[in-house]
Structure 1
Amino acid sequence: MNEKNAPKIGHEPHDAPFDMFETWFADAKKVETAYPDAMTLATADAQGRPSARIVLLKGFDPRGFVFYTNYESRKGGQLAENGFAALCFHWKTLEKCVRIEGKVAKVDAAESDEYFASRPRGSQLGAWASIQSRPMSGRFDLEKRVAEFTAKFGLGKVPRPEHWGGYRLVPDRIEFWAEGKFRLHDRKLFTRDDADSGWDTQKLFP
């Protein structure tokens, strides 16, 4: 029996999985010693070739899950070709995992500007200096560019580069996974066809 044919266990409101995620995330921040906000981001290019890396969650609400990056990076290029992506949180101490899938779109400029302004100045300069995912001959290439942009902006405000900003993954599928004895894990799946609708829920075999 596949997931599509598995029995539904209910229909829950628009906020339900986000409320559950908020509870699990708060627990993770209490017990995980490093980067409870770290998540694997999986993307694919137009040919379907996948790529995965770790990024940091910078915000979430019923609209979706937000992260920031260089739009001209490899991940940015893949998202331009194929707007679907997946996220995965694994909290080892909690023995819990959350898997999220959906469509990704850029956040608006004002939201990216606000977050960029909150970053340490060194990180702001780094966003200008790093030609992300491009080859360099050595560390000096990066240090030279950092020095160049440090001199360019002096003591003034560092504006957000146009090539840098946020993405929001709008989920249509969220799975909550909790460790069970003898690998009899607990899995609860939320799915929806419309971002404005509620969620169908199922329990899955481990």
Structure 2
Amino acid sequence: MRKIEQVRTTYAVAAAALVVAVAVGLGLGAWHFAAARDDIRATAAHLDAQAADRDAALKACAGFLATAYTVDAVNDKGMAKWNDAMTAATADTLKEQVRQTKAMLSLLTEADASMTGAVSDSAVISQNDNLIRILAVVKLTGRAPGQNDPTNGSVTEYVDLMKVDGQWKVFGYKDIGTKSGAGQTEAGLPGLPATQPPGK
């Protein structure tokens, strides 16, 4: 009788140990699942934030290039509106470049030259948390002084942006040499002096 009781006790202890082991196993499994779920959520949130940054940077780049390549002799003779928009779109590293370009373009408006630009294609080619580089093609239309018919052209630019107080600002841009019309005085499409961002 005592042996039977001992066997029962042994089985009871073993069963209890098994229940504890299963419970611990289930607890660890649930913890691992919760940790993996949190990792997936964090990764998804990071990817969503990167996608939002790309969209915002592409929009900022398009606005910058449209402004940069606009010479309006009728409504912005002194390029004051251009200057305000460019100052708002650029980081501090470009303030002096904006000032110099304004002076150059003001001479064109005084001569009644005009030009407009619009991004026809663009893509993010590199990105980290606070820096994005975009490759963009800008279609240009311009009219030189005394020219009756407008001239069309294009220019391809690298545009470098950085996040400043949550906003994407241009801190450098570079003409990569694929262009037609821009920079050719006889075509009526003035070019912009390129910048070389630090470390590029």
Instruction: Identify the TM-score tier after normalising by the shorter chain.
Output: under 0.3
TM-score of the superposed pair, with normalisation by structure 1: 0.22
Larger radius of gyration: 2
Bigger fraction of residues in strand? 1
Q: What is the TM-score normalised by the length of structure 2? A: 0.23
Higher helix proportion (structure 1 or 2): 2
